[in-house]
Structure 1
Amino acid sequence: MDTVMLSIILAASMILMLACGVWVALALVGVGVIGLALSGNEQIGLLFATSTWGSSTGWSLTALPLFIWMGEVLFRTRLSEDLFKGLSPWLSGLPGKLLHVNVLSCGIFAAVSGSSAATAATIGRMTLPELQARGYSERMAVGTLAGSGTLGLLIPPSIILIVYGVAAEVSIGRLFIAGALPGLLLVALFMGYTMVWASLNRDELPKHSEEQISLSAKLKALRQLLPIVALIGFVLGSIYGGLTTPTEAAALGVVGALALAAVTGSLSGSSFRESLLGAVKSSCMIGLILVGAHFLTIAMGFLGIPKALAEWIGQMTLSPMELLIYLTVLFVVLGCFLDGISVVVLTTAVVLPMVQQAGIDLLWFGIYIVLVVEMSQITPPVGFNLFVIQSLTGKDILYVARAALPFFLLILVAILLITWFPEIVTYLPTTMTQR
């Protein structure tokens, strides 16, 4: 049986399992078993055992549950609410006013949760009722939340960057550094669009301007905001400064989040247990997906699929730009049905040989793939994050998709910018690691 037919059988098996509602991790293992059976290998059990051990014992992977736990602590305590209260007074003077709270709150919370869905759900619970009560455009409030929620995939410490770094054997610390400028670029694009929209649609903002907030009131609000910002700065600064590894920084972040929650009086036995259980559930889910993907990678290696695919791409003489266009379409389609982590894990084994064959920097590609996956999460009409927002608002999915469309296009602009100017991604890792 030739490689093309084997690839079709495996792809069809994967699609069928996912369509039947099989967990992504189990679908990956199932397709791996089919692949090894087709290759004639009789050591399926032994290979599964060794691949499970190999994919779950890497030191770099230990940062994953710790960063998730840090985000869960903030989500389960009053600290997440402090973001809204601390930012609101400082944004009342900008065009669009409190709509920017969605963008900046998501940006800040993304830096501690690393999860797109958690970012959108947490910030949405706080901001949407407030914005609606004050008379802001519901559609724009939903759109800014849907778009900004995707920042959870990119702004360090991003869970998906950790997953990519483990799969592609790229330094997680360098990936975190590389994601900083693109993350800030997206925040700037979202805020810039919001200000332009507000200037052109004044009738969809509150009719009566809110009373002027004094400087003393703004400074007082900083008391609620600064502890969280300081925690983020400490965690990321220790990584960027080379003082700690990502795993050590994650451990310090958990301790810091628990300490802040205790000082503010919002850490209870119940919130501690809920945060710990939430972290365990999310970490186990991601861990199982990684195990399944590693097993499938071994199966495809026995079948020779990655090598054959890389040779086929090489024979097509695609330019790096043409390859990126094809991959963008692939990731956007997959993102309509899967969460971002599943998309990255599912495709890495097949895609990386092509990328290396085309001479594309794997560090740059890591940021590119996260941006594309971000875009796919709000791809109309069935992006993964759109369902999260729908569950918060109760609105029709097409309504949420239309609200998110401008931010989908803004992420596309960011992808084009890092493609034309790769220094946006590579400048910080290059300069900071040369010191």
Structure 2
Amino acid sequence: MDASHLVEVSGLILGSLLLLLVGGVWIGAALLICGFIAMQFAPAGIQLGAALATNAWSGAASWSLAALPLFIWMGEILFRTRLSDEMFRGLAPWLNWLPGRLVHVNVLGCGLFGAVSGSSAATTAMVAKITLPELKKRGYNERIALGSLAGAGTLGFLVPPSIPMIVYAVAANVSIIQMFMAGLLPAVIVMGLYMGAIVVWHLMNKDQSPPPEPRMPFRAKLKETLNLIPLALLILTVFGALLLGWATATECAAWGVLGALVIALWQRALTWKTFIDSIMGATRMTSMIMLILTGAGYMSIAMGYTGIPNALASWVDSFQLSPYALIAVLTIMYVLLGCAIDGLSMIVLTTVVVLPMIQQAGFDLVWFGIFLVLMVEMAQITPPVGFNLFVLQTMSGRDSLTVAKAALPFFFLLLAAVAVLTIFPDIVLVLPRMVYPG
């Protein structure tokens, strides 16, 4: 198939996908349909049904992907406990001296819950249900409270376990453990940027911040900190075993579910209803993701038969873009995509075409995975489909424009984090190389 024909075929597939998405077709079903369309241009003799069955089975039978429903279930269980209340009580006494004071609980709390949730929207909701009422009651500025929550809630994707990291690792055939370790230092950088922005905002708007809370004795602070023990033990047990190499990601996910059940039982939050609700919530989320992955995998196979990804990679390479220019172009593309589709769909829609370009440009696939997760985080706070904006709109009662304006500074901070990690890629790769030196 010559180059001009490949361009026509890729235009047909892309146009069909856009029409299906605009028409309200589920993203997974739309990908399957586009895969069938692409198969019509594959070499003769390839059986459509056999290719679909093989792809669907290989995806469902993946041991690595088994971690996905378990981490989702762990987050669903913990969402129904009192951990968010205990987190606020444990963190708040230690932040009274810092400019911005209790607003920092949003950032630190989301970082902690991101380590047990795997979902950005769930992390945002878990922290917001406690901190928003508490900050409002104490007289904190609502805009900085909403903005910091919207931005920090995205840490649910960057701090392991991360659902997008698992999806990308399977799609790009890289190690899930490497992806998890690669996200740790970038998460610290993003949290530092957020907390720095809150400090700067406070220093410039002291009149909009309430006076410091009454000083608490050191022993009382320690007593309140005991509320963090269940969450800390769960994080250390699950990810200590993962980072030390004592267990695989899937095994750690299973231990995480057990730990979450123990915490829920200890808090007397585990009833038959909450147990069934957590299972059904995890089942719905997993089914949605698996349908998307099946559709994306089938479309990837079909596109591979046509030769379109390699042709597009060669076409982009013909422009002789520098690595930085390529990343800049991809950043713009993903920001625009984030205005229209959700983060997981961004990953599965683009990896088949983008990965050959990335490899040809000499980028490490683990590094690119973190770059892509940051793009997904930005999509979470990009109107009109940013999930974190929807969550905060519901929980605060404010309109979408107000929440989006509050989140805008944190969107630019994520862009700054992308720039830092692009200029200094070793920040991402140093921990994964400790696990796999080769």
TM-score, length-normalised on structure 1?
0.96
Counterpart for residue 404 of structure 2: 401
Match of 2:75 in 1: 71
* Alpha-carbon offset, residue 48 of structure 1: 1.2
Residue in 2 that maps onto 1:298: 301
Structure 1 residue 227 corresponds to structure 2 residue 230? yes
2:344 to 341, 345, 349: 341
Indicate the SS of the match to 2:253: helix
Match of 1:83 in 2: 87
State the distance in 1 between where 2:378 and 2:384 align: 12
Question: What pairs up with 1:33-432 in 2 under 5 angstroms?
Answer: 33-39=36-42, 43-206=47-210, 208-380=211-383, 383-432=386-435
Rounded to whole Å, the distance in 2 between the matches of 1:377 and 1:336 is: 9
Shift of residue 235, structure 1, vs aligned partner: 1.2
**SS of residue matched to 2:247:** coil
Tell me whether 57-66 or 47-56 shows the greater mean CA deviation. 47-56
Q: Give the C-alpha shift of residue 196 in structure 1.
A: 1.5
Contact 1:337 1:384 (C-alpha < 8 Å) held by counterparts:
no
My pick for the range that moved more, 350-359 or 83-92, is 83-92
Counterpart CA distance in 2 for 1:15 and 1:315 is 27
The CA distance in 2 between the partners of 1:103 and 1:92, in whole Å, is: 15
Contact (CA 8 Å) 1:76, 1:274: kept in 2 or not? no
Deviations 1:213-247 (A, max 9, x none): 22122111122112101211221111111111111
Q: Deviations 1:328-377 (Å, cap 9, x if unpaired)?
A: 11111111122211111111111101111111111111111111221232
Deviates more, 1:301-310 or 1:391-400: 391-400
Tell me the CA shift for residue 40 of structure 1: 6.8
| 2:21 aligned with 1:18 | yes
Aligned counterparts of 2:27 and 2:89: Cα–Cα separation in 1: 38
- More displaced 10-residue stretch of structure 1: 123-132 or 345-354: 123-132
| Identity rate, percent | 53
RMSD of aligned residue pairs (Cα, Å) = 1.6
- Residues 110, 152 of structure 1: 8 Å contact kept: yes
Pairwise CA distance, 1:378: 1.6
Instruction: Render the CA deviation track for 1:225-275: whole Å, top value 9, x for unaligned.
Output: 121012112211111111111111111111111112212222111111111
Per-residue CA distance 1:76-111 (angstroms, 9 max, x = gap): 122233222221222222111110111111111111
Q: Distance in 1 between matches of 2:275 and 2:223?
A: 28
- The CA deviation at 1:209 is 3.1
Native 8 Å contact 1:80 1:122 kept in 2: yes
Check whether the contact 1:29–1:292 (CA below 8 A) recurs between aligned residues.
yes
Does the 8 Å CA contact 1:76/1:271 hold for their aligned counterparts? yes
Where do 4+ consecutive residues of structure 1 move more than 4 Å? none
Deviates more, 1:77-86 or 1:99-108: 77-86
Deviation at 1:380, TM superposition (A): 4.9
Secondary structure at the residue paired with 1:243? coil
- 1:380-430 CA distances to partner (integer Å, 9 max, x unpaired)? 565342222222222222211111111111111111111111111011111
Please tell me the residue identity of whatever aligns with 2:133: P
Partner Cα distance (1:349, 1:2) in 2:
19
Instruction: Please say if residues 150 and 374 of structure 1, whose CA atoms lie closer than 8 Å, have aligned partners that are also in contact.
Output: yes
Partner of 1:98, secondary structure, is helix
Deviates more, 1:219-228 or 1:35-44: 35-44
In structure 2, how many angstroms separate the alpha carbons of the residues matched to 1:354 and 1:109? 35
Contact 2:71 2:118 in 1 (8 A): yes
2:35 maps to 1:32: yes
Whole-angstrom CA distance in 2 between matches of 1:237 and 1:421: 27
Q: Distance in 2 between matches of 1:353 and 1:239?
A: 30
**Higher mean C-alpha displacement, 79-88 vs 175-184:** 79-88
SS at match of 2:154: helix
| SS of 1:261 mapped into structure 2 | helix
Kindly state the Cα deviation for residue 15 of structure 1 after the two structures are TM-superposed. Answer: 0.9
In the alignment, the residues of structure 1 paired with residue 395 and residue 14 of structure 2 have an alpha-carbon distance, to the nearest angstrom, of 34
Cα deviation, 1:187-209, whole Å, max 9, x if unaligned, reads 11111111111121111112x43
Distance 2:333 2:178 in 1: 26
The 3-state SS of whatever aligns with 1:316 is: coil
Summarize deviations over 1:295-324 as a string: whole Å, max 9, x none. 010111122111111111222222111111
Give the whole-Å Cα distance in 2 for the aligned partners of 1:304 and 1:10: 13
Unmatched runs of 5 consecutive residues or more in structure 1: none
- Aligned residue type for 1:97: R
Aligned to 1:166, the other structure's residue is in SS state: helix
Corresponding residue number in structure 2 for 1:2: 5
Instruction: Supply the AA of the counterpart residue of 2:120.
Output: S
Give the count of matched residue pairs.
434
- Give the direction of change, closer, same or farther, for the CA distance of 1:262–1:384 in structure 2 (3 Å limit): closer
8 Å CA contact retained: 2:81, 2:267: no
1:37-58 deviation per Cα after TM superposition (whole angstroms, max 9, x unaligned): 2447672222211111122211
